[in-house]
Chain A
Amino acid sequence: MDAFALWVKSTDLSWLVTHHAWVWATCEALHFIGMSILFGCVGALDLRMLGWWKSPPVAGVNSLVRWGALGFVINMVTGVVFFVGEPLQYIDNPAFRFKMLFLFLAGWNVLLFYVTGVADQVESLEPHDDTPFSAKVFAGTSLILWVGVIFFGRMLPYLGNSF
């Protein structure tokens, strides 16, 4: 792992990221904007399925998830920029590992939600309809996992030494 991190650190791209202050600052801003888009759009669907925002039809809120995916792509790209810039401060950071674990679980949660057919099951629900228990489990899990991703992301400088 350390050999990999050292190799990443030796690339020109890594040099570019760490030797231009604006790259890091701009990516930080974009990373937080992407987070807001992702958390807002995915969280909206979670709230609808948990019954905490029952006024829209599920299909309408579900169509926001593609915007959440846009936020995810923004954050994946900017996140890779951070990692490429300073791989050594992430690779052994426990907060980083937990963040990746939570991201991985959140990804599985999304995949299972669509593969198991629960997504199709709730798609036709009208405003104020109650969702089945399975949908509530997926929604609650999703909310907890994304809050966990934000938590461990925020803890990167405190549980480890990243900035």
Chain B
Amino acid sequence: MTIKDGHVGLRGSPRAQSRKSASDDAIDRAIDETIRRYFMRHEPTAQAYARVLGAAQRPPVSKRGGSTVRSWIVGLASAAAAMLLVNVALQFLGVAAAHAAPDTSGRTSLFLLWLSSTGLARWVNESETVFGYSGILFLHTLGLAVTVGASIVVDLRMLGAASRISVAALLPLFRYMWVGFAINAVSGALLFAADAPRKAANPLFEFKLALIAIGVAVMALMERQLLQAESGASLTASQPRLNRLAIASLLIWAAAIAAGRLVAYTF
């Protein structure tokens, strides 16, 4: 087999085109390196090719072999640390918010005033029935439980719990997550409208929205990775990435919940 044959054969195969995994990259790099050595140092083709390709195809040393317990401990410890950090940060933010309040209350934007004066917003605010503020708040809580709950199930599985569930079997859960998120986007918008100027002046509220945006992005990334894994690519390549995403997801949702709860207490 010539170098050219090997190069064309691997690059051009439908398998290499359909999925671009880390090992394919390594093989490509090995071929390039072989060509470089051949032309620059005049090493015998066959020897150089065999050595470089052999090194590339050796199964990667698993750094995580048998250490699910360790990743658990790391995950739980960082979750606890993040909770503490977020609480400390929010304490400071809360103090900053209290100082900023007199300034912002004087120059609330007209849009926010208009928003909170609309019929819908006033109905949300003033309705004494369960369909008003309290019921919408319940829907917001239920949507939270569904989205974050399903997210936690996926995260726990990715970090090694319930290993009898195949990774591809997790995909239907993302539908529930998106439904929960849709409920919360709508109910959250209604709750915001009912109290727009005050909520908008609270820096914690912006912080919470930013965390939710990141949390949803992580959720979408995980779904994409799992879809790729399901469509045939080996999971071992994306496993470290999924692990990191799972830990990030747990931390971000915990922080978003903490921020959301504190919004109710700081103003």
Give me the interface of A with B, judged by CB distance under 8 Å: 21-22, 24-26, 28-30, 32-33, 35-41, 43-44, 47, 53, 55-57, 59-61, 63-64, 67, 127, 147, 150-151, 153-155, 157-158
What number of B residues sit within 8 Å (CB to CB) of A?
41
A150-B138, A155-B134 as given contacts; A26 in contact with B164, CB under 8 Å: no
Residues B262 and A43 in contact, CB atoms below 8 Å apart: no
Residues A55 and B162 in contact, CB atoms below 8 Å apart: no
Interface centre among B144, B151, B169 (most CB of A within 10 A): B169
Residues B83 and A154 in contact, CB atoms below 8 Å apart: no
Residues B153 and A25 in contact, CB atoms below 8 Å apart: no
B residues within 8 A CB of A57?
164-165
Does B181 interact with chain A (Cβ within 8 Å)?
no
Does B97 interact with chain A (Cβ within 8 Å)?
no
Does B149 interact with chain A (Cβ within 8 Å)?
yes
Q: How far is the CB of B122 from chain A (nearest CB, A)?
A: 18
Docked pose: A43 CA to B172 CA in angstroms: 14
Residues B142 and A150 in contact, CB atoms below 8 Å apart: yes
Docked pose: A38 CA to B153 CA in angstroms: 10
A25-B87, A55-B172 as given contacts; A32 in contact with B257, CB under 8 Å: yes
A29-B83, A39-B146, A64-B162 as given contacts; A44 in contact with B153, CB under 8 Å: yes
Residues B162 and A61 in contact, CB atoms below 8 Å apart: yes
B residues within 8 A CB of A24?
265
A41-B149, A63-B161 as given contacts; A53 in contact with B173, CB under 8 Å: yes
Interface centre among A21, A40, A67, A155 (most CB of B within 10 A): A40
Give me the interface of B with A, judged by CB distance under 8 Å: 83, 87, 91, 130, 134, 137-138, 141-142, 144-146, 148-153, 156, 161-166, 168-173, 176, 253-254, 257-258, 260-262, 264-265
A39-B145, A64-B161 as given contacts; A155 in contact with B257, CB under 8 Å: no
Docked pose: A57 CA to B176 CA in angstroms: 19
Residues A147 and B142 in contact, CB atoms below 8 Å apart: yes
- Chain B, residue nearest A158 (CB): B134
Contact of B146 among A37, A43, A63, A155 (CB under 8 A): A43
Q: Kindly list 10 other residue pairs between chains A and B, CB separation below 8 angstroms, not including A25-B261, A29-B258, A40-B145.
A: A29-B262, A33-B257, A36-B145, A40-B149, A53-B172, A60-B164, A61-B162, A64-B156, A151-B138, A158-B130
- Chain B, residue nearest A151 (CB): B138
Residues B87 and A40 in contact, CB atoms below 8 Å apart: no
Docked pose: A53 CA to B260 CA in angstroms: 30
Residues B153 and A40 in contact, CB atoms below 8 Å apart: yes
Contact of B257 among A36, A55, A60 (CB under 8 A): A36
Docked pose: A41 CA to B146 CA in angstroms: 10
Residues B87 and A26 in contact, CB atoms below 8 Å apart: yes
Q: How far is the CB of B193 from chain A (nearest CB, A)?
A: 19
- Chain A, residue nearest B168 (CB): A55
Q: How far is the CB of B126 from chain A (nearest CB, A)?
A: 13
Q: How far is the CB of B207 from chain A (nearest CB, A)?
A: 13
A29-B83, A56-B166 as given contacts; A64 in contact with B153, CB under 8 Å: yes
Q: How far is the CB of A68 from chain B (nearest CB, A)?
A: 9
A residues within 8 A CB of B150?
40, 43-44
Docked pose: A127 CA to B262 CA in angstroms: 41
Interface centre among A38, A56, A158 (most CB of B within 10 A): A56
Q: How far is the CB of A48 from chain B (nearest CB, A)?
A: 9
Docked pose: A40 CA to B254 CA in angstroms: 14
